[in-house]
Amino acid sequence: MRKIISIVILLAVVGGVFALGSLRRGADQKPVLSVADEVALTVNAILPARQEIIRLVQAPGETEATLEVEISSEIVAKIEEMPVVEGSKVQRGDLLCRLDDDNLVAEVESGEARVRRLEAAVVDAEADVERAERDYRRQVRLSEVDATSDKERLDYITALKKANAVLDMRKQEIVEAQAYLRRVKEDLKRTVIESPIDGVISKLDAKIGEVVVTGTMNNPGTVIMTISDMSSMQVRARVDEVDIPLVKSGQKARIYLQSDQQSAIPAKVIRVASKSTKELGRDVVTFETLLEVMDGDRRILPGMTANVEIEVAQQSDAITIPVEAVVHRMRKELPEAVVNEFDKRQENLDLSERAKAAQYIKVAYVIEDEVARVRLIQPGIADTRLVQIEDGIGMNDTVIAGPYRSLDQLKDGRKVTMPDDEKAKLAEARKKQEQKTDDNSQEPKVAGGAGDSADPAASGQLSAASGS
């Protein structure tokens, strides 16, 4: 009996302890019964900066000349002369190569002789027609006095028709011969290949003595050389299907060559393909995008590998924080007020309860009285380092930006701390920020805000070792 009473008393004591542990104070929602003080989490903090932010779309590509011509032969012949080499500068009308023309010269002479022979045959046929007409007229006069028979008169009519037919045939033959002669003369002119544009011989595929052939349905023919107009260059980039809706003609861009990743070359989007391409053996879908190089940089040569950055969105006076300060939290990890506000923003979306439960919400944490407070944010455009905050964070807030281990452990109401030297830096940064705001209000200036981040201290970016 005494043992049973002892067990009941022990259970009552344990239950009372748990009951007290579940009770929380109204002010800070901390347990009434606290076995140990909460360990403050050491964090990094920054002040939001007002500056320009540009959203970029990055893509790989290759450089090429805007105007590039492949030189091929229109006849089958052997190359006899080629006064240019790869890298030679040429102007429109300069000789590129000369083909063997012996056979064509002979064909021209033969064609001219045939035309002269047929011209003589036409004269002979005209004489036959004249004689046949004369004989026919005599037969008509004789028939009027019954001096000839109908059979003879009909024979002369037939002879006249035959003479006219022979004359027409000779005329058609001379037209055919003249057409053949013109074609042979054109082929003879094609043995001399001249440059159609000003440019540089960027690629030489043939040599003296090689027989070049014309293209057919199954054979593309011989490409003798390629001429590139180096005064105007472009980049043929491959933009991922996720980013292509943001890319438009006329947008500014920057090009970085593999040989110099630090120097940006200005460019502009001139065309976006309307149909995607897919490399063989890969599932990546891209859209071909052409960018015009705005600066005649002599370092750019056809066929170079390049990376492009396209400016698809820009905000000149935006409140920005580092991208690492934006964290994703599940609904159950956030206070009810934050979740309700998030649901209010999504009133127009028809989502099931299951879909809502699976959502991650973008939030940021600020420091208020040495305690982390969660803020529902509305992010805007972002680049690789910064993100624009359209709602949820103000210029006077102190935003927790790291380290990653601390951000992962952060919850609303968690006690946080910063080393004394970092607190001093934060206070100094806030003082400079307030001073700059006062100066801007006294001396109006053109809106832009990009200069607000010129002073590293004014940006309020601080670092502290993690104490977790």
Average confidence score pLDDT of the chain: 83
What whole-number percentage of the chain has pLDDT above 90?
Answer: 48
What's the CA gap between 277 and 236, in Å, rounded? Answer: 13
> What mean pLDDT do residues 181-208 have?
93
Per-domain residue ranges for the chain?
Answer: 38-52+318-453, 57-66+235-314, 70-100+191-231, 101-190
Question: Which CATH architecture group holds 70-100+191-231?
Answer: Beta Barrel (2.40)
d(CA 350, CA 346): 8
What's the CATH fold of domain 38-52+318-453?
Answer: 2.40.420
Q: What is the pLDDT of residue 457?
A: 36
Tens of pLDDT along 207-245?
Answer: 999 999 887 766 777 899 999 998 889 999 999 999 999
DSSP for 150-196, please give it. HHHHHHHHHHHHHHHHHHHHHHHHHHHHHHHHHHHHHHHHTTEEE-S
Please state the separation of Cα 439 from the chain's center in Å.
Answer: 43
What pLDDT, in 10s, does the model give residues 83-112?
Answer: 999 989 999 999 999 999 999 999 999 999
- Asked if 269 contacts 104 with a C-beta cutoff of 8 angstroms, the reply is no
102-106, 112-116, 134-138, 363-367: segment of lowest average pLDDT: 134-138
User: Under CATH, domain 57-66+235-314 is a member of which superfamily?
Assistant: Efflux pump adaptor protein, beta barrel domain (2.40.30.170)
Query: Can 38-52+318-453 and 70-100+191-231 be said to share one CATH topology?
Result: no
Most confident of 276-280, 336-340, 437-441: 336-340
> What is the model's pTM?
0.64
Largest CA distance in the chain: 172
pLDDT above 90 (res 267): yes
